[in-house]
Structure 1
């Protein structure tokens, strides 16, 4: 199977790229994502006002005429030689498939860096989770706690805090710009956290039965290990000012790259860079 363009990742960046590709006239495009549905992490929150732009892209993506392989994971990438097609190994529910692509767009996003990745001292009780994990539990109708501390440092955590309050939980919103968590206490389940103000050094403690916390990202680039695509020390895909990788006809955008802040998916600059890549011969 050979395609003009393969987009790995059907989150908002991948879907935006697919919409640009369709408007640019590309016919033979494949989109791959390991989730059960397109939209990426947190898509169940897109009806909330914080995600108006994301919801619009998700709704527009219903008009895409391209194949979308869900529950499918890229497990290997092999750069084409001497201008030949790139090769991608994809694990699907039907088994492993080998596909080829003239051009590849990497939009695989990232996971949240949890408490362990930030080396927060304390015990290891139950009830500590990332916002992505909390959203997943809520999607399956689990009640995650009644007295919840949430470390607010993103649009996702802000929306999640609002949703939990609407569900009747007592929510303590911790401003991630102002405080840092210094200790976690609890035996079988978390019972208290200690925090410190980043500016004043003032310390405080708060009781809770659940902590929703993450700080930083873990790029989803495991499938590129051993490939020729250059990654930095944090395993981000290294790209230039136009989103191009070191491999011809391979670009990357979004939080899987070393230029996450530069390529805001809603900016004209990012849209133009994606369009320029898609339209290049």
Structure 2
């Protein structure tokens, strides 16, 4: 039996909940959110640190408080949020097969908003050889362990190595220390850490080449920047960062994925190549702060309401891609209205000159103050794309020092 809703949102993280709240409040009809986890809120549920905005009294919110507030706002606006429910595949252009605690369902929607977020690549996907001992975690697994069992060292380990050099790695170090776990070292491929790791040795330009131990991890082999390999004794290793979009549902529908970003290609209204299907948040390119993802969730509401109101799906716009030392750019399509661009570099770039060009002709070229870094995106205002010719060829965004 097929059940109908007006808007089906897949994913109850910051983007999905924000989209549902805005759409329900705007009178979009029946707005239903599906979340495969037991609790709504997404990754912030596991982030026990400030940095998620403030409450009505101006007090800083940590991740769990932010997640609870986002879920409350969606419910108060009139959206239905269902947890423990997974969208398993497509039964038609705007129809999804769903597995729920009560059994199998099929849901047809007037519009589908994909907000499935991003995930960390596990050790196996990072091609780190060795055995498969206990004690090998991602940041998310570490945080979920603490959330479930509390900061208990016997559940995590006694001596850990953290792999990464960005703010996510620093969060893992803090979590480990709060659990009473000694941090033996932080290992990063970067030539210098991007944040301070007070009290922990930092090995720069280094990679983990092997995991040692059977049953339980006993150490990791690390190749340093000069090619020498050492063994760090530990019973826990935490791989941090290296986020990839959770794009299986998008791929199953045949949506084109953007190079570099590895998320669905969208225009400035978050429309995909499939009429009626939208994509928002960290599904588009891996991880951005929760507040950025939530802003995109709110922003998609306008285009969704237009779709529900009968506005025709626009023709595909002009493709835009990142080249040179830039990893990705979103949106991946430019239409009649100038759009701001979000770009992320592959490496550190000091005061780079950015160029937006079409058919080899620069549309705008400007030197940026400051330094671009691989763990933080930069937004280029709509003026950067105001000269795009919709009848012209692809647009590129490049950078040079």
| 2:81 corresponds to 1:68 | yes
For the structure 1 residues 140 and 168, does the alpha-carbon distance in structure 2 shift closer, same or farther, using more than 3 Å as the test?
same
Which of residues 180, 184, 205 is equivalent to 1:168? 180
Contact 1:129 1:213 in 2 (8 A): yes
CA apart distance, 1:208: 0.7
CA apart distance, 1:260: 4.0
Contact 1:2 1:99 in 2 (8 A): yes
- Aligned pairs for 1:154-165 (under 5 A) are 155-165=167-177
Q: Which has the higher contact order (CA 8 A, sep 6+)?
A: 1
For the structure 1 residues 182 and 222, does the alpha-carbon distance in structure 2 shift closer, same or farther, using more than 3 Å as the test?
same
CA apart distance, 1:211: 0.6
Contact 1:79 1:228 in 2 (8 A): no
For the structure 1 residues 229 and 151, does the alpha-carbon distance in structure 2 shift closer, same or farther, using more than 3 Å as the test?
same
CA apart distance, 1:30: 0.2
Structure 2: 5+ residue runs without aligned partners? 53-60, 191-203, 308-401
Alpha carbon RMSD of aligned pairs, Å?
A: 3.0
For the structure 1 residues 263 and 159, does the alpha-carbon distance in structure 2 shift closer, same or farther, using more than 3 Å as the test?
closer
Aligned position for 2:144:
136
| 2:219 corresponds to 1:209 | no
**What is the TM-score of this pair, normalised by structure 1?**
0.82
SS in 1 for 2:40: coil
SS in 2 for 1:136: helix
Which of residues 159, 167, 182 is equivalent to 1:147? 159
Residue by residue over 1:142-198, the C-alpha shift from the partner in whole angstroms, topping out at 9 and shown as x without a partner, is 611111112235544432321221221112452533432122222322112232445
CA apart distance, 1:230: 3.3
Number of aligned residue pairs: give it: 273
Structure possessing the higher radius of gyration over alpha carbons: 2
Q: Work out the CA distance in 2 between the residues paired with 1:25 and 1:173.
A: 53
Aligned position for 1:83:
none
CA apart distance, 1:26: 2.3
CA apart distance, 1:37: 0.6
SS in 2 for 1:114: coil
Q: Which deviates more from structure 2 when the two are superposed, residues 269-278 or residues 184-193?
A: 269-278
For the structure 1 residues 260 and 23, does the alpha-carbon distance in structure 2 shift closer, same or farther, using more than 3 Å as the test?
farther
Q: Work out the CA distance in 1 between the residues paired with 2:39 and 2:294.
A: 27
Q: Work out the CA distance in 2 between the residues paired with 1:266 and 1:92.
A: 30
Q: Work out the CA distance in 1 between the residues paired with 2:238 and 2:293.
A: 29
| 2:277 corresponds to 1:250 | yes
CA apart distance, 1:255: 2.9
Q: Work out the CA distance in 2 between the residues paired with 1:267 and 1:112.
A: 17
**What is the TM-score of this pair, normalised by structure 2?**
0.60
For the structure 1 residues 173 and 5, does the alpha-carbon distance in structure 2 shift closer, same or farther, using more than 3 Å as the test?
farther
CA apart distance, 1:252: 0.8
- Aligned pairs for 1:1-281 (under 5 A) are 1-45=3-47, 47-51=48-52, 52=61, 54=63, 55-56=65-66, 58-64=68-74, 65-80=78-93, 86-141=94-149, 143-153=155-165, 155-174=167-186, 176=188, 177=190, 178=204, 179-197=206-224, 201=227, 203-214=229-240, 216-224=242-250, 226-231=252-257, 236-242=262-268, 243-257=270-284, 259-260=285-286, 265-266=291-292, 270=296, 273-281=299-307
SS in 2 for 1:255: helix
SS in 2 for 1:74: strand
